[in-house]
Structure 1
Amino acid sequence: MKRSVIWVLLLLSSLVSASIAGYWLATVQMKKEQLPDASPVNNKHKVLYYRNPMGLADTSPVPKKDSMGMDYTPVYADNIATDSAIANTAETERKILYYRNPMGLPDTSPVPKQDSMGMDYTPVYADEQVATGQVKISTDKVQKLGVRTEQATLRKLVNTVRAVGQFQIDEQRLATVTAKFEGYIENLYVNATGQPVKRGQPLMQVYSPELVSAQEEYLIALNGRKSLKNGTEESLSGVDLLAESALKRLRNWDISDAQLQRLQKDGKATHTLTLYSPANGFVLEKTAVQGMRFMPGEPLFKIADLSTIWLLADVFEQDLALVHVGQTVNISVDAYPNKALSGKVAYIYPTISPETRTAKVRIELANSGGILRPDMYASMQLMSGHNSKVLAVPDSAIIDSGTRQIVLIQLAEGLFEPREIKVGMHSDGYTEVLEGLGEGETVVVRANFLIDAESNLKAALGSFGEHQTKRQATATSSSNTAPATNHEGH
């Protein structure tokens, strides 16, 4: 019995061992099938190292995980070979002309080198070179700079000149009433300042002893001519000369022909003389007073015709070139804001005020109804410009150095060229181009200063490179021609 039990246990133990051995053999076979084939083709997939899955500068020779539990990415040998081949091909196809300073300084080198800070010089390739004076910028950089362009087009430019001024009396319509003899005012018919008068209207009646004496002399000469009509020629000539002298004196005193005819007709000297208004208008000044004595040349009335009035506008000196005689001017006054007024430029005064830097411009306009008064303030607006369209570009397109004006022309996508132009008038954000640009050409209107700065930098680098090449050539030539020194035997 005991021996049977032992045989059963041995049999069971053998079965368990056989099962374990079979499982182990099956597992080993599966692993062998999963292992990569050690053929020459699979050798290319050899893992060189493992790199950080987040792209950080961290590698490992064996598989590992980062702090977040992510597996490092394997880098295979065939990937490195492919990248190197592509890079070598690209480098071979792109010819390096020279190396430039990484900080943008005017320093170049024909071979790779580093600056004082250990930074590698940047290679400049042949396909990056453009014609002299041009600058090439990548599309990505153009977008980052915010470059904006616009075509040069024909447009009508109009400048608006604005100024303020005061109304003044038309000096050509101003009259002063005076007497050329001494006398007294017997009767004053116009006795208020501001009173309207008409041409030929009686102003006052005056008495003058000199005037009465001159009339009597003239009458005596006339009567003597009549009484001596049968006299000798010599006597008649003397009387005529006396009469003419008296008549001339009366006319010099502004005695009218009508008054002289009445004197001749009545044959009697009048003790008073009426003075009349010489023009239509208003009495601006009146010194005449009833019964006063006046002297020759003393102003008694000042009369102004206000049917036409002047506006003296103060125009700034920078706007004077836009103002011309004959131009139409729009005028507005605070007293009549809804009334449209207009006049014409009649005269531009030849002097400038040193305090305000303005010049007086005279504008003549009709004063219908007399609503405009002397010394009233007014604003004027004058439109000046070309009658036809002119070539113009936005003001922002022009880089003004003070001595010349430059625009940047877009020749192609990312390719620009600075060009000097001559400019004319400015209006509403645009400038007239007189020379240097054609219709339809595209100019940079935004970020042009940045492109111009790069253009100047490249020009400086190119100039420096040329000088350096010449200097190296000179040094090489000098070394070749220098006499050799024999040091043998030392």
Structure 2
Amino acid sequence: MKHPNLEPARAALARTVLALALSLALSACGGGKAGDAAPVAQKAASQAEGEHKEEGGLKLTPEEARSAGIKLETLAAQGFADTVTVTATIRPNQDRIARVAPRVEGRIVQVTASLGDNVKAGQVLAVLDSLALGEAQSALQRAQSAQRVAQSDFKRAELLSADEIIPQRELLRARSALETAVADMRAAEDKLRLLGGVAAASGRAASTFPLTAPLAGTVVQKKATIGELGTPSEPLFSVADLSTVWIEANLTEDKLARVQVGAPATVTVTAYPGERFAGRVTYVASMLDKDSRTTPARIEVPNKDRRLKPEMFASATIETGATRAPALAVPSGAVMLLQGQPTVFVAQGGGYEPRAIDPGEKVGGRTVVKSGLKAGDQVVAEGAYALKARLLKSQIGEGH
């Protein structure tokens, strides 16, 4: 059967054919008997009516149906787990993100990481040159030199004291000087370490130091540019472990009581139609936002293949633990728009007939059908887009 919206045109065509037949019959009356007109008109009307009632929908051979990937599903009422569906935004896991800034002010002399790079823990992101670090290196070298001198003086004093060449107080003075030199050296080492530097092995003061990644992840923010000044107050990089992401949503008051921490949830994004990502509710805020009158909630979702990107919009379906009354539902992919009307294809009369429906909410990848279908109908669960394309093509052909 053709699309339902074509019925008025077909009816008009039938009426036109009938009128033409009657006209011809009346014309024939002028050259014959009056009774001869009735069979002619009746035959024409019968042909027109037969054409008007022609049914069967889109016809496909078994080979064409297999090529189009058509799969049927017999409808039956089924129960569904009660769910709450909310719109959400994907965020990085805030427990696995690091904002990397230098401990001391320095000029950026080298950048080794780019935005989007996957880095390991301890990997160098940039190199900076710091005057304060150079001074700390010099102070450490002076302290190390003083410690070596004090160590040498103490050893000599020990030998002389053992031979009773110098008094005991000289030995005590040498020991005190050594302890002071060791304390100064350790203080210089601590200062250098706190500034993010390490003692130079070459013996020369080094003013450069590396800025490293504190954890393995992806560089999601980069502000480092060679020649600019890096400061402790302004992170140069942000590194995030995106193997798990947070799906952040806001629950309205009517949905709040139905969502519990630990509830299973599924997430869909427009970038991957038909795919569902499983997660679990890990957080529901204790307070309501006074402006939006909503409560923030969080779903944690594994993301090992890194396909879910921060700041993507998503739709999250959260299970409440309750069960709904049985209802008819079709795969959401089977529903499409034909002339603005949600429609599915139904196998009927040896063909595939488009059937307008009144869709309800989506639950678990299926769409509840309020009206337009009945139990036992065979719905095209897969391959509906191929049928839609054939239908539109046939309509275009008829238009010409």
* 1:172 pairs with one of 95, 102, 114: 95
Does the CA-based 8 Å contact 2:196-2:209 persist in structure 1?
no
Contact 2:137 2:207 (C-alpha < 8 Å) held by counterparts: no
Q: 2:218–2:239: 8 Å Cα contact kept in structure 1?
A: yes
2:188 counterpart (236, 246, 271) = 246
Matched, 1:206 2:128: yes
* CA deviations over 1:357-387 (Å, ceiling 9, x no partner): 3221111111121111112111111222369
Shift of 1:293: 2.2
The answer on 1:226 being equivalent to 2:168 is no
Q: 1:361 aligns with which of 297, 307, 316?
A: 297
Deviations 1:320-369 (A, max 9, x none): 12211111111111211222211111111233344553221111111121
Unaligned runs of 5+ in 1: 1-155, 393-427, 429-490
For 1:157 and 1:177, how far apart are their aligned partners in 2?
Answer: 47
Counterpart of 2:241 in structure 1 is 305
CA distance in 1, matches of 2:311, 2:105: 35
State whether residues 326 and 344 of structure 1, in contact with CA within 8 Å, keep that contact through their aligned partners in structure 2: yes
In the TM superposition, residue 282 of structure 1 has moved relative to its aligned partner by: 2.5
Q: CA RMSD in A?
A: 2.6
TM-score (norm 2): 0.52
User: Are 1:161 and 2:84 matched, yes or no?
Assistant: yes
Which residue of 264, 280, 284 corresponds with 1:348?
284
TM-aligned CA deviation for residue 187 of structure 1: 1.6
Paired residues, number: 228
Counterparts in 2 of 1:340 and 1:268: CA distance versus 1, 3 Å: same
Question: Contact 1:157/1:385 (CA < 8 Å) preserved in 2?
Answer: no
- Report if the CA contact (8 A) 2:107-2:230 is conserved: yes
Instruction: Report the AA paired with residue 316 of structure 1.
Output: T
Deviation per residue, 1:367-415 (Å, 9 max, x gap): 121111112111111222369xxxx9xxxxxxxxxxxxxxxxxxxxxxx
Maintained 8 Å contact 2:134/2:205: yes
| Matched residue, 2:116 | 194
Opposite residue 221 of structure 1, the aligned amino acid is: A
Query: Are 1:326 and 2:262 matched, yes or no?
Result: yes
Deviation at 1:314, TM superposition (A): 2.1
Describe the shift of the 1:296–1:383 C-alpha distance in structure 2 as closer, same or farther (beyond 3 A).
closer
The percent identity for this pair of structures is: 31
| Larger radius of gyration between Structure 1 and Structure 2 | 1
- Secondary structure at 2:310's aligned position in 1? coil
- Of structures 1 and 2, the one with the larger relative CO (CA 8 A, separation 6+) is 2
Report runs of 4+ in structure 1 exceeding 6 Å deviation: none
- The CA deviation at 1:243 is 0.9
- Partners of 1:299 and 1:330 lie apart in 2 by 34
Aligned 8 A contact 1:329 1:380 in 2: yes
Change (3 A) 1:385 1:284: closer
TM-score by length of 1: 0.43
Match of 2:205?
269
* Partner residue, 2:218: 282
2:228 paired residue number: 292
